[in-house]
Structure 1
Amino acid sequence: MAAPSQKTHELLQIMEAQPVIPVLKIERAADAIPLARALARGGLPAIEITLRTPAALEAIRLAASEVPEAIVGAGTILNPAQFEAAAAAGSRFIVSPGCTASLIDAAADSPVPLLPGAITPSEIMTAYERGYSVLKFFPAEQAGGAAFLKSLSSPLSDIRFCPTGGIGVANAATYLSLPNVICVGGSWVAPDDFIAAGKWDEIEALARAATSLSR
């Protein structure tokens, strides 16, 4: 059994509640509020706002403070400074594409749970040694897809994953059917062009459709 240093209980409460975690790239901070509301109305309150744009931290602040029904997380966190900034902005969970000793140390000093990324058995085992049994699998499709992830389920049976990267309507159910997958991350529920055009009703409909995916 892994040590509880990941704050696994808090993380699982978020990830087990919905089959898809929307992965969002927000160019205009003002879009964060109607976007978070639309996704929550559609049944996906937990969202990952990636630090891939200059507006990301402000978007996290706005969504976290103005949309109480949303569970706002931060993604593409690469170092402790970004971890701390995202947590200060109101993030309730932190997602990283990888797993470094400095990020693990930063998370240990914070009440905010970290979902780090790992792909290879050695990376996964290294994270597990540090008490991490829930991991991001990224980039999922490029790293071997559902078949590779399924092959890990027996030798690494204590590890559960949120695969992200190249996942959409066509293959999300395949990933969700795997015994070691909790949920998937995906951007298809809030496409960049829909966000840019303010198509909140359409995004809500995509979110609602995503909630029907079975696990």
Structure 2
Amino acid sequence: MKMQDVYQKLEEAALVPVLVIDQEDKAIPVCEALIKGGIRCVEITYRTAAASKAMRLVRKNFPEILLGAGTVLNRGQIDDAVDAGADFIVSPGFVKENVVYGMKKGATMIPGCATPGEMEQAMQLGVKVVKFFPAVSFGGVEALNLIGNVYGDLKFMPTGGINYSNMKEFLSCPYVIATGGIWMATRQMINEGAYEEITENANLAVTRKSEIR
């Protein structure tokens, strides 16, 4: 999928549940629960050994889902994410060499950028969307409005400290393309198989999103 198409789908989705999956077979029911709640976009993080297999299961069983690979820290994970069929690749920080490597492989890279210097470097590489993490700790919406006013063409996907209580504030920011977080489907919910709760959280988030977009 072309980078611009990924950006468009990401903006349409607006919500990106960040999933930490310990057992790959949990990937299918948690995605079913999110879809039931109205969400068709997920980011599976490389925080566990099950991430790679989980992504492949999602790609095989849910072709309609916009699939992201998160917490990507090195070239090996970039290779694996591309091979698994990830639509976009997210890193918590900015490493120029990794961004260049991923883009050469045709991946849509969304690197974490917390400073203007990092953002300008990402923009010079052709990146149009960056992760802003941890969003709340680094100034939240107020910071995004100030930064976005300077870098008008750059969009942000903030995560870190965002939940149901403040997601509307972030999604109302004109510089935010989408917002993510673990709260819609926490690691504990996934491990306990709390799929009804995940569906409810997804539905609540979609309802709140619809008040804005």
Length-normalised TM-score, structure 1 = 0.92
The answer to whether the aligner puts 1:81 opposite 2:76 as a matched pair is yes
The secondary structure found in structure 1 opposite 2:150 is coil
Q: 1:19: how far off?
A: 2.2
Number of aligned residues? 209
Q: Which residue of 2 aligns with 1:92?
A: 87
Quick check: 1:160–1:181 contact (8 Å CA) kept in 2? Answer: yes
The secondary structure found in structure 2 opposite 1:31 is helix
One of 120, 143, 164 as aligned partner of 1:169: 164
One of 13, 20, 33 as aligned partner of 1:18: 13
Quick check: 2:6–2:87 contact (8 Å CA) kept in 1? Answer: no
In structure 1, stretches of 5+ residues that fail to align are: 1-6
Q: 1:86: how far off?
A: 1.2
**Mapped partners of 1:71, 1:182: distance in 2:** 14
Q: Which residue of 2 aligns with 1:45?
A: 40
Residues 140-193 of structure 1: CA deviation (Å, up to 9, x unaligned): 111111111111121111111010011001111111111111110111110222
Q: 1:43: how far off?
A: 1.6
Q: 1:8: how far off?
A: 3.6
Q: Which has the larger displacement, 126-135 or 104-113?
A: 104-113
- Identity fraction in percent: 39
In structure 2, stretches of 5+ residues that fail to align are: none
Q: Which residue of 1 aligns with 2:188?
A: 193
The secondary structure found in structure 2 opposite 1:22 is strand
Please tell me the residue identity of whatever aligns with 2:146: S
Q: Which residue of 2 aligns with 1:3?
A: none
**Mapped partners of 1:132, 1:106: distance in 2:** 13
Please tell me the residue identity of whatever aligns with 1:71: L
Q: Which residue of 2 aligns with 1:124?
A: 119
The answer to whether the aligner puts 1:183 opposite 2:200 as a matched pair is no
**Aligned-pair Cα RMSD in Å:** 1.4
**Mapped partners of 1:173, 1:203: distance in 2:** 19
**Counting helix residues as a fraction of each chain, which structure ranks higher?**
2
**Mapped partners of 2:191, 2:128: distance in 1:** 36
**Mapped partners of 1:85, 1:102: distance in 2:** 17
